[in-house]
Amino acid sequence: MKTRHFFDALDDARVVAAIGTAEGRSRGEIRVHVAVDPVEDALAAARADFERLGMTRTRERNGVLILVAPESQSFAVLGDEGLDHVCVEGFWDAVVESMREAFREGRFTDGIVAAVGRVGDVLAQHFPRRPGDTDTDELPNAISRG
């Protein structure tokens, strides 16, 4: 798929709203990054982008990156070390597969919004908001591109 077609079809505002809603239920951080060039290995690209985007600098190391590479038709979901021991085995792969199914049907925004929601559920379960605490949005909610 051409990246331009993907960007034309993507509803950024809806994705950003989904991130805000998901983060509003937890102390976690979610970023969506779209690779504008093809990637050979989506997980390796996600690891590099995770560092570059400052995802490791969250207070509780509970950030999650959702990488979409439209030219390569590949995806990766990567959680920081605070999530490694709380997510069931295969969770990230299941999120990726659900995005893949939506993308096959041309439902790009739906696929990303659903992935954000599933990630938000896990964050809310393991990093719920604490009564009386003010949560700081540590990372931008906007979709990054690069």
- What is the side-by-side order of every strand in the sheet holding 74-79? 74-79, 63-69, 29-34, 144-145
Residue 15 has pLDDT above 90, yes or no: yes
For the chain, the domain total comes to 1
Tell me the per-residue pLDDT of 20-59, one tens digit each, with 9 for 90 and over: 999 999 999 999 999 999 999 999 999 999 999 999 999 9
Judge whether 80 and 61 are in contact, CB under 8 Å.
yes
Residue 89 CB burial class (10 angstroms; 0-12, 13-18, ≥19):
exposed
Lowest mean pLDDT among 15-19, 40-44, 82-86, 123-127: 82-86
In this structure, the strands spanning 74-79 and 144-145 are unpaired
CATH label of the domain that carries residue 65? 3.10.310.50
Question: What pLDDT was estimated at residue 135?
Answer: 75
Confirm whether 101 is domain-assigned: yes
Confirm whether 133 is domain-assigned: no
Q: 98 lies in which domain range?
A: 3-128+138-145
For residue 1, name the pLDDT band (cuts at 50, 70, 90). Answer: low
Question: What pLDDT was estimated at residue 76?
Answer: 97
